[in-house]
Amino acid sequence: MRRPVTPGNEASSGFPLPDAVLADLMRDTGASVGMLYLLPPTERVLRLALVGGVSGRIAAPWARIPLEAAIPVADAVRDRRPLWLGSQEDIARRYPRVGIVLPYDFKLATAPITSKGTVWGGIVLLWPIWHPSDHSTADQVRLQACCRRAAAILHQAAESGQALQAPEEPRVLPAPHHRETDPVQGAAALAFTARLPVGCCALDLDGRLTFINAAGADLVGAPPGPLLGQRPWEVLPWLRDPMFEDRYRAALVSRQPTSFTARRPPDTWLRFQLYPDDSGISVHISPADTGQADAERELRQPAESIGATALYHLTHLATALAEAASVHDVVELAADQIVPAFGPKALALLTVKEGRLCVTGHRGYGAELMARFDAVPMTSDTPAVRAITTATAAFFPTFADLKKAYPPAVHQDSMASWAFLPLIVSGRPVGSLVLAYDRPRIFPPTERALLTSLAGLITQALDRARLYDAKHALAHSLQTGLLPRTLAHVPGLETAARYRPAGHGIDIGGDFYDLIPCPNGTAVVAIGDVQGHDTSAAALMGQVRTA
């Protein structure tokens, strides 16, 4: 249904923000989440103006997006073309930052809002992964039509001298009402929930409790009054585990049911089942015996509930990789942190060199085994090579699955499950990351997204490091080639030279020295410094020295 323009959704110019445009698009395409960005004329930062389907808290990390950022909507606006991503694995591989912050299953589309050569902003849509429309032609037509409608509104406002500006905080579209509530049916529904022996409650899109029945209040051990209008994990101390809020976020973004168990002190185990739609989440609360709770915790793999722990590890790794300079540094950091933090028992990092896939670093594997897989031609049909050539990650829960995909495969290690992740940046193959586990692993969608994001971080770090190594090698070659290999012999004078850069890393190139014999038996010592510490400084140093 159409959402009317209300007095509260007008920009400071007096023109209404295009609420109805975004609301109609979400309804017509079946999108679960929609976001509309504005691009101020004098800025290179997209500002989130409207969001629908989720709360402002969930959208907060995307409120301001620089045009240079590796974010889908920034790419769409910068390149002036739509962008479609069909799975969370695809999103995490191409945009690791998005995969880290939203490690849930969904599809994504984004397009720029343009008219007459002017870029006004962009629109982003998210669909549940189960949505039947896989970026159909009809959806593409609707998205383009929506962008034209939004562009017309923004152009009209600008022409009138009242250009629309994004509000300080993005406006959240009100949740649609599917139908008017009949008072008699409402009373009957309320009486029905009151008679239930199990608990039920409702959360709005912001995670706040809008209803809880008597049985639910008894189970959580708190009266309904203080709970209403609050987020459960903020008022019930025993629900403050980040995993519980993560389940709410997962249900809301993916629009898929999920569940978790929690212990209400001292020893009461409860099971929470979440059922989302575009207006909020219905929660079923029931007792869970200790055996059931233990079984759920055992079955729930670490990456299935991303939560704060995995995000911490990813953030820590990203910070460490940002400080890594050389390829060796990246390999050592990745190997040292991935194995203990993310669960594999063995790891191999392979990079493409002159048409071959070479082992650059490993943990948990023996040198002899790694030697068998070193320098494999890129034309060979192996899981690691195919992951690169197809730009698609491959996950094998058992060796039987691996054997089915690669009949010649021989079980050469003691591992039970494998993940082969391509390392590709800007369409260029960098290498492959192989993770091996000593127990069968089902690799649920959230874990695949996590590992794909992990590979993306490593890819970007490796690409930077390879450039650093190349520049360092060139600068070092220039300097060593232009400085004197040996000092001239001067009778009666003992000479020696030692060069030591004051900095570290690539800080070489600007200093020069030489010993020049003179015809009268004397010598001139020349010592100088060209400003800079890079290849240009090294080249200039050579010109000065030979002048």
Alpha helices in 60-165 (DSSP H): 72-79, 88-94, 96-101, 137-159
**pLDDT for the residue 480:** 64
Mean pLDDT of 267-296: 84
Domain ranges in the chain with CATH number 3.30.450.20: 183-300
CA distances in angstroms from 321 to 260, 293, 330, listed in the order given: 34, 38, 6
Q: Is the pLDDT of residue 9 over 50?
A: no
Question: How many residues comprise the chain?
Answer: 547
- Average pLDDT of the chain, as a whole number: 82
Type of residue at 297:
R
pLDDT tens profile 80-126? 999 999 888 888 888 877 877 777 889 999 999 999 889 999 999 99
CA distances in angstroms from 527 to 50, 51, 364, 497, 503, listed in the order given: 63, 64, 50, 11, 18
Class of domain 183-300: alpha beta
169 near 192, Cβ under 8 Å?
Answer: no
Confidence at 477, pLDDT banded by 50, 70, 90: low
For domain 7-172, which architecture applies?
2-Layer Sandwich (3.30)
Residues 6+ apart with CB under 8 A from 19: 3, 5, 6, 9, 50, 171, 173
Higher pLDDT, 453 or 291: 453
Higher pLDDT, 256 or 331: 256
pLDDT tens profile 366-404? 999 999 999 999 999 999 999 999 999 999 999 999 999
**pLDDT for the residue 280:** 92
48 near 64, Cβ under 8 Å?
Answer: yes
**pLDDT for the residue 2:** 34
pLDDT tens profile 37-54? 999 988 889 999 999 999
Class of domain 308-473: alpha beta
Highest mean pLDDT among 31-45, 450-464, 526-540: 31-45
Which position has the token pair 């959230």?
Answer: 446
Question: In angstroms, rounded to a whole number, what is the distance separating the alpha carbons of residues 223 and 197?
Answer: 16
Q: Is the pLDDT of residue 449 over 60?
A: yes
Confidence at 535, pLDDT banded by 50, 70, 90: low
Mean pLDDT of 424-428: 84
Confidence at 1, pLDDT banded by 50, 70, 90: very low
Q: Is the pLDDT of residue 506 over 50?
A: no
Which position has the token pair 């902003």?
Answer: 121
pLDDT tens profile 197-208? 899 999 999 999
Domain ranges in the chain with CATH number 3.30.450.40: 7-172, 308-473
Long-range residue pairs from 309-317, CB within 8 A, at least 24 positions apart, any chain: 309/242, 310/103, 310/342, 310/450, 311/100, 313/337, 313/341, 313/342, 314/100, 314/450, 314/453, 314/454, 314/457, 315/100, 316/341, 317/341, 317/454, 317/457
Mean pLDDT of 14-43: 85
Confidence at 18, pLDDT banded by 50, 70, 90: confident
Which position has the token pair 């009054």?
Answer: 225
Higher pLDDT, 135 or 487: 487
Type of residue at 391:
A
Q: Is the pLDDT of residue 31 over 50?
A: yes
Predicted model pTM: 0.63
Mean pLDDT of 163-167: 81
Helices 327-342/307-323 angle, 10° precision: 170
Which position has the token pair 């212990």?
Answer: 263
Mean pLDDT of 27-33: 90
**pLDDT for the residue 298:** 44
